[in-house]
Amino acid sequence: MPKTTPAPRRAVLGAVGGLALAVPRRLGAQGDAWPTRPVRVVVPFPPGGLVDTLARAVSQHLSAALGQPVVVENRAGAGGNIGADVVAKAAPDGHTLLASSLGPIAVNQYIYRSMPYDTRTAFAPIVLLAATPKVMCVANARPWRTVQDVIGEAKARPGQLTAGSAGPGSSLHLALELFKRVTGTDIQHVPYRGAAPAVTDLVAGQIDMLIDNVPNILGQIRGAAVRPLAVATERRLPQLPEVPTMAEQGLDFVFGTAFGLVAPSGTPPAIVERIAAAVTAALREPEIGGRLVEQGAILGGGTPAQFAALIERERSLLEPVIRAANIRAE
C-alpha cells in the first residue's frame, strides 16, 4: 500500500490538538479605538451549514466583548469565492470579517480557473473556529466491514466503486482524492450539489461510499441508515466511540475540514489579536463549545500565528493533490 509521510496528512486535525485556548491581549491605540460601528461577519455559504452555525454561535459573545453589534451576512456562490471577495476588497479596519472553511481562504486558488482575489495575499488570518473530522461510510447494502475491504474491492475492480462528494473541489472531494492517492486506488468520483444529496443517495444505495464531515452524517450513522467504517482522526471520537480510526485498520490517513476567521489583508495586528482572544473565550463557553462538540466539531481557538501556520500546512498538503487529480471548477 503506497504511503506518504504522516506529518502532512495531519495538517488540520493534528494541528488542532496543539492549539492553546489562550491568546494574550496586547492592544495598541488602533485596537483600543476599534470597533466604532457594527462588525459584519460574511459567511460565503448558505445559511444552516456548519460555518454559518459557528459564526452565529460566537457572534453574540463577540458583540458583548466588543461593545458593538456583530452581524452575520450570508453571501454564497462560486464555492465561497463571492463572499470571500467581498471581504478581500473591504477596508482593512476590522469591521468586515470572513468566517469560512479553508477552501476560499487557502486552496480555491488551485481549483477555480478564474479567481477575483489571491488567496495567498488577500487575508489576515485571525483564529481557527473549529475543525470537523471525516468519517468513511458505505451503503448498508454493500458487504464491506473495514477500510481494507474497500481498498481490496477498489483494487480488484478499478474505477468501478463510486464515492460521492459535495461537488468538485469540495472538502469531501479532496478527502476522496487524498484517500485514492494514499491507497493507490481508482474510485469513481460522483459530484453532487452539496453534501445532503450525496448522503441521500448513499442511504438509498445509489453510490458505494462517502468520506463526509461527521456533523453532516452523524444522524444517519446513529440511525443505522449507513455503515461507518473508520474515522480519519488520531483517536476515536467520543460521538462515535465504536467506530475505529483509519490507523487502527492499518492506514495512515488523518484528515479533516477546518473553519476559521480572517480579515482583509492589512488589518492592524492589534485588532486581529483582540478578535482572536474574544473568539477563543467564546469557544470556552459551555453553551457555545458544548453544543458544537455535540455536533461532532473539534473546537479551535488560539493565536493568529497558529491559524496562519495551519493554513499554510493545508495549502502545501492539498495543492499537489488538486493538481495531480486535475480538480477544476468554473
Check which CATH number belongs to the domain holding 294 and give it: 3.40.190.150
Tell whether the model's pLDDT for residue 12 goes beyond 80.
no
Question: At 202, which CATH number?
Answer: 3.40.190.10
Query: Residues 36-95: pLDDT tens digits?
Result: 999 999 999 989 888 898 899 899 899 999 999 999 999 999 989 999 999 999 999 999
Q: Is there a single domain that holds both residue 66 and residue 110?
A: yes
Residue 2: pLDDT over 50: no
Name which residue leads in pLDDT, 21 or 104: 104
pLDDT reading at 236 higher than 90: yes
Residue 203, pLDDT > 80, answer yes
Please state, in angstroms and rounded to a whole number, the distance separating the CA atoms of residues 9 and 54. Answer: 24
Polymer length of the chain = 330
Among 249, 276, 294, residue at a domain's last position: 249
- Residue 285 grid cell: 463557553
Query: Per-residue confidence at 32, pLDDT binned at 50, 70, 90?
Result: low
Q: Is residue 5 part of a domain?
A: no
Domain range spanning residue 194? Answer: 134-249
Given 202, 228, 249, the domain boundary residue is 249
- Residues 74, 100, single domain; the answer is yes
Q: Is the residue at 330 inside a domain?
A: no
Mean pLDDT of 269-287: 94
Is 243 a member of any domain? yes
Q: Are 227 and 205 in contact (CB under 8 A)?
A: no
Beta strand pairing call for 123-139 and 226-231 = antiparallel
Same domain, 125 and 23: yes
Residues with Cβ < 8 Å from 64, sequence gap 6 or more? none
Identify the pLDDT of residue 194.
86
Q: Within this chain, do residues 262 and 117 fall inside the same structural domain, yes or no?
A: yes
Domain-embedded: residue 3: no
In which region does residue 250 sit, left (phi positive, over 0), alpha (psi from -120 to 50) or beta (all else)?
left
Q: Does position 9 have pLDDT exceeding 50, yes or no?
A: no
pLDDT bucket at 18, cuts 50 / 70 / 90? very low
Residue 295 inside a domain? The answer is yes
- End of a domain among 249, 271, 293? 249
Q: Count structural domains, the chain.
A: 2
